[in-house]
Amino acid sequence: DTAVSQTPKYLVTQMGNDKSIKCEQNLGHDTMYWYKQDSKKFLKIMFSYNNKELIINETVPNRFSPKSPDKAHLNLHINSLELGDSAVYFCASSQESSSPYEQYFGPGTRLTVT
């Protein structure tokens, strides 16, 4: 059973396009996150949702819009893709009420913008 899953695993697209990445967790967690990992492996949080409410919104261009239809899903939509958006995007989840910060990560989505 996959705990945190992401689709697609790879995404190759051209500049200016709009794309979405989906994330689902079956752990019953109340909080979900999106991270961006750049080419130097630096991992930085982008967004966090707790019980479908946005709670962390780091300095991210407004071309990036997260959406949480329910507690088990957190999707990331990116408009007008740019070359600099090429990275690996990780989804994660945690149960903040009982195990704060203990985050479980998905396998990542490698986005390549050409």
In the complex, which residues of this chain contact another protein (CB under 8 A)?
Answer: 4, 33, 40-45, 48, 50, 55-56, 90, 92, 96, 100-108
Per the omega criterion (within 30 degrees of 0), is the bond before 8 cis? yes
Give the shortest CB-2-to-another protein separation in angstroms: 10
Residue number, 14 or 42, with CB nearest to another protein: 42
Identify the bridge partners of residue 64 per DSSP, sorted by sequence position: 78
Residue number, 12 or 56, with CB nearest to another protein: 56
Give the shortest CB-100-to-another protein separation in angstroms: 5
φ/ψ of residue 4, rounded to 5: -125, 120
Specify the pairing of strand 109-113 against strand 87-94.
antiparallel
Give the shortest CB-98-to-another protein separation in angstroms: 12
Contacts for 39 with CB less than 8 Å, ≥ 6 apart: 86, 87
Give the shortest CB-23-to-another protein separation in angstroms: 11
Instruction: Tell me, rounded to whole angstroms, the distance of Cα 48 from its chain centroid.
Output: 9
Residue number, 28 or 79, with CB nearest to another protein: 28
Residue number, 48 or 68, with CB nearest to another protein: 48
φ/ψ of residue 83, rounded to 5: -55, -40
